[in-house]
Structure formats: C-alpha cells, structure tokens
Amino acid sequence: MHLPFSKYGLIILLAILTFGLSTWDNTNKPELTITERKVLSGVASASGIAIFNDSLYVIGDDVPWFYQLNEASTVQSKISFGNYPLGPDSVIAKPEKPDLEALATTENTLLALGSGSLSPQRDIMVRLADRNQPQIYSLQSFYNRLRSLPEFKRTQLNIEGFAITNDYLFLLNRENNLVLRFFLSDFLAYIKAEESFPKPEIYKIILPKIKGIEAGLSGADIIPGTSKIIFTASVEDTPNPIDDGEVLGSFVGIIDIKEIENQYRPGYAAVMENNKQLPIKLESVSILNHTPENTEIVLVTDSDGGNSEILRADFKWN
C-alpha cells in the first residue's frame, strides 16, 4: 500500500535533498572588515600587490613600472622594467601591454607574471632582485605548454593570481577558475632551461555568483606557516574574462591546499559597505600580519582607467 506524500512531507524532503547536495561548508564562514580605504593616486590600473624588502610594491596591467609605496600607502618611487611606448594618458596601448596581473615574492626576489591572454606580448615574467635593474624573461614556451593541456582546450589562459610556498608554486587562472599547482623546484628548473615541462596538478574550483555571474579569480597570497591561500575574486558583467564590464562586486576567500580537489568550494566573504555589496574590482591581496585570531591584509582595485584604490582589512577565517 502506498501512502500519498503530504505537501509538508514534500517540502521537508526537498529541504533535506538541497542541504545534502550542497557542498559549501558555512561553518566558521570567513568575515571581512575593511579598516581603511583610500585612492591609490597615480596608479590607474593596479593589478598586483606584494611585500618586498619591507615595502609594499604594486604593479599595473598597462604600465611599465613597479610602484614602491611608502608607509602612507602613496607612491614613493617607480622602477621601470621596459621601454614601452606610452600614450598621452601615460599607459601602454591594450594590444601592446604586458598585462602583468600576478605578483609574488621568493628568496628575496619579486616576480611579476603576464596574464598570457595575448601571445607573445603577455607571455613574460619580470624579476626584481634587491636594487638591481629588473629583468624580463619570456614565458612563451611555458605558456604554450599550458595552453596545450586538456584543461585549457575550451578555456583561455588568463593568469591573475600567483602564490609561492617552500615547496609549491600556484597559478590562478581567471577563466573557469582553475588552480594550477607545480613543485617549485621543477618550475624554477624549467624556467632555467634545465628540465622538461613540469606538468601541474589542475583543480577547478567553484566560486559564488552575483546576478547569476560567477566570480573570477584575481589574486592570491599564502598565509605564513599554514596550508591556506587567501584569494580575491571579482564579478564583472561581461561576456568573457578579458574585456571590461560593469563591476558588480568582489570576494575574499580561503583555499586549503591540503583539501583542494575538483569542484572545491572555498569559504569566502563578500566585500560589503553599509550592508551592501561594494561595487569594486579587487585585483590582488597581500598579508600584512597574521595571528591565529585574525589576518590583516592589504588589497588593491583596478578602476579600469581612473585611480585605483588600496584597502586594508581584517580577515577572520577560523
């Protein structure tokens, strides 16, 4: 004998199924509190920020300089890395720009990566060591090998995030939100032309949406002494991850590299102001201080032509 399902029984069943199918763990949901927000005067398209030699350095995606900031988070000096032609607005034309989007430090060296979204113009790495003149390296061979991987068959290469641990190097691809993990020693040996291509482990992660549009990865940094990556991601109303569009908002999240797998759903916090999603495009994050209770971070935005912003925030993720 089959008993009919009551309306309330159906509602309960649907609730159980919805809960069971959700893989997003909201336990200890991260919290983000902005403590300072100001215009980063003189930097039109900030795309990366990192601490190097006890100073904050910023890169832009259409300028040929590293910007060194002072304690007041204003530009103290500019270090040129290339002889690019500049337009009347002091930026490089879009077809020619190196599109430096990812910044990280290792062994007293600051490394900036081009996005790889246009070859060969954006297939570069710029290395700054101490006070030496920056050096430019071609990544065309390396990026071509990445483009040939099965995971990029229907995904455009667009490296936006970059993080380094003692053992690993991580690249974050904006389109399709791919996280690539390399052994650091293998990557460095390949760049020095000493070893064969170091095939990475690649993970597709799932990020939150705004108005049905999934956020795209834009920056990363490793939390010292942990297996955690803090990342930034932003949402633009655009048909592809390359062209600019209306900025709908951004997120700061946390990836545990010991737990990452395909379809991984990291914890995240929306960037809010007055209980509303702040319509800014976060491009990068760097960690200023870390304690078990709180991680103090600094972030930069890309204004797509106007002045960028720099923000300081407290990020609680435990």
For residue range 130-179, list pLDDT tens digits in order. 767 899 999 999 999 999 999 999 999 999 999 999 899 999 999 999 99
Q: How confident is the model at residue 195 (pLDDT cuts 50, 70, 90)?
A: confident
Q: Provide the residue ranges of all domains of the chain, joining segments of one domain with +.
A: 32-316
Q: For residue 311, is pLDDT > 70? A: yes
Virtual torsion, Cα 298, 304, 308, 311, nearest 10 deg: -30
Q: How confident is the model at residue 2 (pLDDT cuts 50, 70, 90)?
A: very low
The stretch 99-116 carries a mean pLDDT of 94
Query: What's the rounded Cα separation, in Å, for the pair 263 and 241?
Result: 20
| Residue carrying the six token digits 């071609």 | 138
Q: What is the pLDDT of residues 34-81, one digit of tens each?
A: 999 999 988 878 999 999 999 999 999 999 999 999 999 999 999 999
32-316 belongs to CATH 3.90.950.10 = no
pLDDT at residue 192, as a whole number? 81
Q: For residue 10, is pLDDT > 50? A: no
User: Would you say the pTM of this structure is higher than 0.85?
Assistant: yes
Neighbours of 286 (CB within 10 A): 23
pLDDT at residue 107, as a whole number? 80
CB 220 within 8 A of CB 281: no
Query: What's the rounded Cα separation, in Å, for the pair 24 and 264?
Result: 9
Of 8-22, 39-53, 230-244, 294-308, the one with minimum mean pLDDT is 8-22
pLDDT at residue 9, as a whole number? 45
Q: How confident is the model at residue 304 (pLDDT cuts 50, 70, 90)?
A: low
| Percent of the chain surpassing pLDDT 70 | 88
How many residues would you count in the chain? 318
- The mean pLDDT of the chain is 88
- With CA atoms as reference, report the closest residue to 220 among 49, 97, 96, 70: 49
pLDDT at residue 1, as a whole number? 42
CA 125 to chain centre: 16
| Residue carrying the six token digits 């949406």 | 209
Q: How confident is the model at residue 217 (pLDDT cuts 50, 70, 90)?
A: very high
The stretch 229-258 carries a mean pLDDT of 88
- With CA atoms as reference, report the closest residue to 150 among 204, 76, 98: 204
Q: For residue 19, is pLDDT > 70? A: no
Query: What's the rounded Cα separation, in Å, for the pair 183 and 168?
Result: 5
Query: What's the rounded Cα separation, in Å, for the pair 147 and 136?
Result: 21
The C-alpha angle with vertex 27 and arms to 164 and 254, in degrees rounded to 5, equals 15
